[in-house]
A and B are shown apart, each in its own frame.
Chain A
Amino acid sequence: MTIGAWALCVTVITSLTWSYDLTPGAKAAVVRSWPSETSLQRSDDSARLLCFLHPKCPCSVATVSSLKKLLAESDSADRPSLTFVVYSPPGESSWLETTICRKCREFPDATIYRDEDGREARRFGSTTSGHVLLFSRSGQRLFTGGLTASRGHDGPSAGQEALRLCLIAGAVADREYCVFGCSVTSSGIAPSNSVRTGQIQDSEDLRVFR
């Protein structure tokens, strides 16, 4: 009896933990094209890759690591211009001195944008740290979603595979991929009130266009 209760307790807590790890951040309405009201500059010379981050989110370290591996695989000529949009409370510049920000500075030719109070995140419809957006030269969205399979888990994922195809083959993903991380807006939607995908999509959901 005691052992049964113990096994049940362990199973329940483990299931809750795994459920939390597999629960993505809040799903929001992500822009389909480059928004006109943004302060971020778009370049006609190259695609634009945005990565929204919360500088103190422990799970987003895995996203930065995954992104580094992905960009290392792509040809430098076709490599998009990368901007890390890092959340910062109003008047708090010290938040850009975290471990994640130091890792971001290791990227060559990358820009770190201090997103005060998450205004740019709201303009692009991003709510969760680790959210990656890829826009074409014309400003059309090619990819939206996360690069990790669960919270803080580095390694291969469906989001990574989709972004790889977008970068290499110019494909466009017609669906969003789960993002696992903290909220990048102070008025972020709590995961419990959000719409959750709960499933990891694979690269078959991609369609290729030229």
Chain B
Amino acid sequence: MLAQFVEKSFVNSRERLSISNSGAGVAQRDSDSDRQIFGGIYSRVDRLFAVVMAFQGIAMVVLALWLTPKSWSGSDAAIHNHVWAAVGLAIAITTLPIGLALAAPGTLKTRLVMAVSQALVSGLLVHIAGGRIEMHFHIFVSLAFLAMYLDMKVILAATLVIATDHVVRGIFWPASIYGMNEATILRTVEHALWVIFEDVILGISIFRMRAERMQLMTAVHRIRECVSQITSDQSSSQDSADFIDSGLQLICDAMQRMQSTFVQVHGQSEVLGRTAEKVVKLIQEGTKNGDRSRSGIRALRESFEQITKAVHDINSVAEQTRLLSLNATIEAARAGEGGAGFGVVARNVKELAVKSGHSADQITRLAVECSQQSQHTVDGLQQLLEQLDMIGDMIGSTDEVIQTIRTDLNDSAHEAQRMVSAFGS
């Protein structure tokens, strides 16, 4: 099951790889569309310049109101013509670019009008400042701002207007553009060279940024293609998800079974441990009983030895009795007829002494055998006790192993439970 799952995942990955390779061709075709790639930038910069234009228009009027608010004829005042000119030019210059930025953002026409308007604002500000060289900074700043379009046509349009303004005013009204009445053509060339220098730098930057933008858009297009393909293969992905889910369910079931097995083994090990403890206790009790039995047998053996001594004494008495009966027989024989009855008694006594001696010998033999048997029993009991001690030690070692197994099984059961919970969630 797991192998099937891995194989299916590999197939899906391979299919996605082939999709991403085909996306490069689509992005290459779309790279021809300038608007598709740079349209967003054009529109954003159009809106930005609409705000800048409005700000510049207001600034022109405010500047005129501050510098030349009124014209005077004696004590009579009127709004200065510069104020009306600022209002008129602010409206005239900024209305069309702002309107185009709102109505047709992102078009070439809007960009070019914006560039021309910005150049006109620069020219007007230079004129208002009386040709102060510092105000020419506005031209270079404007070109840098216009570079945000990433369109060299915009830079060239603004440059054309700026150049025309410089040439015309440089010839007919140099004080308005350079702040002096006698400006040579070299001054115009000097200004033009600075503008051309900035245009070249901006052109290089725009070229590189356009290339980077195209690469970025190609990558984005590839990602979108992949996302689209993934969306279209949603059913396949759903099958994969179901397959993964069933695989996980199987793993979960197996883990649950393994967990129950762990629990069972853990319970059995507990029973085994308790049994081992009981066996150890029984062995210890048996050892104690064996010791007691061995002591009893030793006491029995001593009793047999005392019996043997007593029988020996009996045997001595029987021998003395037999000798005494012999003497009595001899004396009876000497006494004659009168001693005949005594002789009969002496013979009977002799016979009883002989029988007593035989019985004593038999008892002695039996006592020796019993003593020997008890010695064998003591020896066997000693071996048994030693073996019980060995068994007790082995069971003690086994109990330690069982404890270790129980701990491991307990940990494994908890781990299995955690995995089951994780898969289940």
Contact = CB atoms under 8 A, between A and B. Distances in A.
A198 interface: no
Given A155-B175, A156-B181, A184 B74 contact: yes
B92 A6 contact: yes
Contacts of B130: 62, 152-155
B176 A150 contact: yes
A110 interface: no
Contacts of B173: 18, 22, 150
A10 B109 CA distance: 17
A149 B181 contact: yes
A16 B89 CA distance: 10
A58 B67 contact: yes
A141 interface: no
Contacts of A89: 74-75
Interface stretch (A36-44, A168-176, A186-194): A186-194
A150 B95 CA distance: 29
Interface string B89-102: 10011011000000
A182 B71 CA distance: 6
Interface residues on A, range: 35 or more
A59 B69 CA distance: 11
For B70, B71, B80, B81, the residue with the greatest tally of chain A CB atoms inside 10 Å of its CB is B71
Contacts of A62: 130
Given A20-B85, A184-B74, A152 B181 contact: no
Interface string B246-281: 000000000000000000000000000000000000
Interface in A1-44: 2-3, 6, 9-10, 13-14, 16-18, 20-22
B292 to A, nearest CB: 129
B68 interface: yes
A182 B77 CA distance: 10
Given A155-B130, A182-B73, A183-B73, A2 B96 contact: yes
A57 B70 CA distance: 8
A131 interface: no
B181 A58 contact: no
Nearest to A2: B96
Nearest to B73: A183
For A21, A92, A150, A188, the residue with the greatest tally of chain B CB atoms inside 10 Å of its CB is A21
Given A3-B109, A14-B89, A156 B182 contact: yes
A77 B181 CA distance: 30
A146 to B, nearest CB: 13
Contacts of A149: 175, 181
Contacts of A154: 130, 179
Contacts of B70: 56, 58
For A10, A157, A185, the residue with the greatest tally of chain B CB atoms inside 10 Å of its CB is A10
B120 interface: yes
Contacts of B93: 10
A58 B69 contact: yes
A20 B79 CA distance: 14
A40 B95 CA distance: 54
A70 interface: no
Contacts of B127: 18, 21
A156 B75 CA distance: 30
Interface string A66-103: 00000000000000000000010100100000000000
Given A182-B71, A188-B74, A13 B89 contact: yes
Nearest to A127: B73
Contacts of A158: 181
A54 B78 CA distance: 14
B175 A153 contact: yes
Contact of B68 (A58, A183, A186): A58
Contacts of A21: 127, 176
A92 B79 CA distance: 21
Interface string B314-348: 00000000000000000000000000000000000
A145 interface: no
A6 B99 CA distance: 12
Given A6-B92, A14-B124, A54 B72 contact: yes
Nearest to A188: B73
B176 A187 contact: no
A165 interface: no
Contact of B96 (A3, A150, A157): A3
A98 B180 CA distance: 28
Given A58-B69, A89-B75, A157-B181, A13 B88 contact: yes
Contacts of B175: 149-150, 153, 155-157
B176 A118 contact: no
B190 interface: no
Given A17-B89, A183-B74, 7 more contacts: A6-B96, A13-B88, A151-B82, A157-B181, A184-B74, A185-B74, A200-B181
Interface of A: 2-3, 6, 9-10, 13-14, 16-18, 20-22, 54, 56-59, 62, 87, 89, 92, 117-118, 129, 149-158, 182-188, 190, 200
23 contacts: A6-B92, A6-B95, A6-B113, A10-B89, A10-B93, A13-B85, A14-B124, A18-B127, A20-B82, A21-B127, A56-B72, A92-B75, A151-B82, A152-B67, A153-B130, A153-B175, A155-B180, A156-B175, A158-B181, A183-B74, A186-B73, A186-B75, A187-B74
Interface of B: 67-77, 80-82, 85, 88-89, 92-93, 95-96, 109, 113, 120, 124, 127, 130-131, 173, 175-176, 179-182
